[in-house]
Amino acid sequence: MNDVAIDEVLAGLVAQFASPYDFLRELVQNAMDAGSDRVEVLLHTHAAGDGVVFELEIADAGEGMDESILDGELTKLFASTKTGDRTQAGGFGIGFVSVFAWAPQTVLLHTGRAGETWELVFHADKRYEKHRIDAPFEGTTVRLFRTGKAEEREGIAESVRQSLWKWCRFVALDITFEDVDGQAGPEVIRDTPPSDEEALVAVHEEGETRVRVSFAVPPHAVLLRHGLVLGEGLPAEEMPGIARALGDSLEHVRVWADSPLLRTDLARDRVVDDDGRKAIERIVLALVVRLRDELIARVEALAGTTGSWSAELHAMYSHLHAHLACERTAAGDRLRERALVRLASGGASPPSLLARRATCGLVLACDPTARDTDTLALQAAAEQAGMPTLAAMPDDRGWLAPLFAGVELRALAEALVRVEPATVPVDSLCALVGQVLARAELPVARVALGRWQGGGSVHGWGIEVHASPCVVGLALPRVPGAALTVWLDERHVLVEAAIRHASIDPVHAATALALVIARGWAKPVELDDFADAVDAVRAA
């Protein structure tokens, strides 16, 4: 390969990195390969005329290099000032070439091995000089020199810091960075790998491969090799090969995969889609399936907890159900058959069973920590009327509702209300309303007037579901069949108007109320049939 072609290779290797500071990752990788237990990175600032010279120093304590390694691997792409000869390099030298992404005017390298100590000086034109020196030396130290302005120092220091934290924070080496002219001392670049003590986690370990998958938010994926970050971001971006298979799991899955099976392209910031990557992705999919089954089992066990139900238990229950919502599509109909929901009265039940029991078309949700007399009375009335009541906070209904196909999930206080019989003598008006409804073939045993506890009804009427204490259901999606007792809310504006008008035209007043009730009935009523019913009542 001629010099022009090699220059093009050099330029390509230097330009491939997304950030000029990514060369730090390459030098840390070299230190790991050399068996070093530490890497020290220092930024020095030297006065130089009107400007400064920045010096980036990267030192390790690895086994270093002797002359055969320097000549056979490190300097292959460079031209000696003595011979001018150069050939294309192997893998080791490619990482070192990356230092020129920072555009240094000079690079100084010291290395020692087996009693040899060498100094190499690399110039901006990629030519170098090599000298053997007598002083003993351990490991390898690389110093990069670049002229600039003093005000650039803080920006350079921050860029060095960010690059080390981005790529090297999980490496087992002791890595430190110090801006020598800054106020702070050396900063340790070290982050702790995710703990396996999380609530929802599954782990695969085999040889040097360790894959960890958890259900948590926000979703995240990190792909590593020997602790060095190869790729990091959203799971769909880092694992596109299995994104479709993961489906909604992408909304809450976190992946940590550290394996020598993972390889990168030359730029080192994209994991190659090869057999090694596919093997890791298969492991991730298997762990998600295992975690999904464990999540279902844990929700079922928690929902069936015996004894008192505390706010802490409910918070955990809601947390697990929120994760389960992301797995609903993958889990399919089996979720409706498992005992995953907790009743307000205690115990767990499958959603499908509760849906079949909901004779009025309602499954109710009630704050499980509310133990006041009125709430307990409403719960008892709901259960006796065939409206199962779940332990649920207002925010829970978003993930609960999809579990109940064909029935409506509604808050207890929005569905049922206790009623006190009114003292206003309107028996004749109520009787007329009942006659109109009966003539319209709507099965009503009795119409009564009452006062809603806790405020008026927006509907103006309700169907009695329990007689003692008197409890009515509001706007039931399914009106139960046999002899109904309908209660009118005496504080509703239409009821008040009908009461005032009853002495003038009782049938007219009763018809208005009967129309209000009929509009909310499960069985549709034709207006012509209703008019015939009114005429029949008026004639009687």
Residues 132 and 7 in one domain: yes
Q: Domain end: 167, 188, 209, which one?
A: 188
Residues 518 and 496 in one domain: yes
Residues 265 and 303 in one domain: no
| Bond prior to 218 in cis (omega within 30° of 0) | yes
Examine residue 332 and state whether it is found in any structural domain, yes or no.
Answer: yes
CATH code assigned at 11 = 3.30.565.10
CATH code assigned at 503 = 1.20.120
pLDDT class for 375, splitting at 50, 70, 90? confident
* Nearest alpha-carbon partner for 386 in 421, 423, 413, 359: 359
Examine residue 150 and state whether it is found in any structural domain, yes or no.
Answer: yes
What CA–CA distance (Å, rounded) separates 426 from 496?
Answer: 11
Examine residue 513 and state whether it is found in any structural domain, yes or no.
Answer: yes
Helix axes 527-539, 427-439, angle to 10 degrees: 130
pLDDT number for residue 476: 82
Q: 290-317 pLDDT, tens per residue?
A: 999 999 999 999 999 998 888 899 999 9
Q: Domain end: 231, 261, 290, which one?
A: 290
Examine residue 196 and state whether it is found in any structural domain, yes or no.
Answer: no
Is the per-residue pLDDT at 17 higher than 70?
Answer: no
Residues 159 and 22 in one domain: yes
Residue carrying the six token digits 């028996």: 427
Question: 461 to each of 19, 95, 473, 483, 488, how far by Cα in Å?
Answer: 69, 79, 9, 16, 4
Q: E strands within 348-458?
A: 348-349, 362-366, 389-391, 408-411, 416-421, 444-452
Report the run of H or E that residue 157 belongs to, with start and end. helix 153-168
Q: 475-532 pLDDT, tens per residue?
A: 888 777 667 888 888 888 888 888 888 778 888 888 888 887 777 665 666 666 667 7
Residues 334 and 380 in one domain: yes
Examine residue 193 and state whether it is found in any structural domain, yes or no.
Answer: no
Here the tokens at position 117 are: 């100590």
Residues 92 and 42 in one domain: yes
Q: For residue 296, report the phi and psi dihedrals to the nearest 5 degrees.
A: -60, -45
How many structural domains compose the chain?
4
Residues 81 and 164 in one domain: yes
- 90: three-class secondary structure by DSSP: coil
Residue 435 lies in domain: 422-539
Examine residue 194 and state whether it is found in any structural domain, yes or no.
Answer: no
What CA–CA distance (Å, rounded) separates 179 from 154?
Answer: 9
Residues 139 and 7 in one domain: yes
What CA–CA distance (Å, rounded) separates 186 from 178?
Answer: 4
Q: Domain end: 414, 439, 458, which one?
A: 414
Percent of the chain with pLDDT over 90: 47
pLDDT number for residue 6: 45
Residues 24 and 172 in one domain: yes
For residue 347, the tally of other CB atoms under 10 A from its CB is 13
Residues 37 and 112 in one domain: yes
CATH code assigned at 267 = 3.30.230
Examine residue 449 and state whether it is found in any structural domain, yes or no.
Answer: yes
The type of residue at 383 is: E
Residues 95 and 161 in one domain: yes
Examine residue 306 and state whether it is found in any structural domain, yes or no.
Answer: yes
Q: For residue 205, report the phi and psi dihedrals to the nearest 5 degrees.
A: -130, 130
pLDDT number for residue 301: 95
Residues 153 and 34 in one domain: yes
